[in-house]
Amino acid sequence: KFMDSLASTALIKPFIRKNKIDLSEYEPARYRSFNEFFIRKVRPECRPVAPEGLIAPCDGLLSVYRATDDTVLPVKQSLYRLPALLGSAERAARYRDGWVFVFRLCVNHYHRYCYAEEGDKGTTRFIRGRLHTVRPIALEQVPVFTENCRACTEIVTERFGTLTQIEVGAMLVGRICNLHSGECHVLRGEEKGFFQYGGSTVMLLVERDAIAAPEALLDATANGVETPVRIGEAVAIGDK
């Protein structure tokens, strides 16, 4: 409630200074709360959508993993497998030997996200979970991604098969705000939704052979390096 209040605007300027946010990238606006500022809109010319390849659905720090039956995905010191993440072994089987793109957002990142490709969107499944802090002291006992809420959306596309895009909310992002929860046709780069205040994560699951192996990203991930990306940027080339 405080972050939605007029009084919270006092936090905006210190937040900009601390996180070195370049306001010239964003549409000018008068903010009536910190949350309004937090979900500020970027100028379209500052985040162009690449015409080819699979695009990043958000700004963030990217890691990429091959999805096998034995793959355990480490994200924010949490470990999990795809069936637990998706709440379904059957849904997870679609992505066996495919790819998992993990985009980690920090508080200084742009917190609106888009659809990674044009296609027919299914009904968004919201998997409720108990919200836990992402601080390491809590992670010693609680695996974040099996406890936190997830919004899972399947998108049937011509170029990349069936994608599943997942938004994950931590304690400071109790509200994952998707603009459309029902079935519809969506466009590449079209805004999907936004996160309220706090760090969070977007995940993109891609079927086997739908894209060329992103070797540079895989090597970086294997070496523990996250790759900075921006919304609309091509992160893999399609094979289909």
Q: Which of 8, 33, 59, 78 is catalytic?
A: 59
Q: What mean pLDDT is reported for the chain? A: 87
Q: What is the pLDDT of residues 23-81, one digit of tens each?
A: 999 999 999 999 999 999 999 999 999 999 999 999 999 999 998 877 777 655 566 78
Whether the per-residue pLDDT at 110 is higher than 90: the answer is: yes
120 is catalytic: no
CA neighbor of 161 nearest in space, from 62, 95, 111: 95
| Residue-level pLDDT at 149 | 77
Choosing from 200, 209, 219, 239, which is the catalytic residue? 200
Active site residue 181: no
Which pLDDT score, from 0 to 100, does residue 237 have?
A: 87
Side-chain-side CA neighbours of residue 125 (13 Å): 14
pLDDT in tens, 111-166: 999 999 999 999 999 887 655 555 544 445 555 555 677 899 999 999 999 999 99
Band (100; pLDDT cuts 50, 70, 90): very high
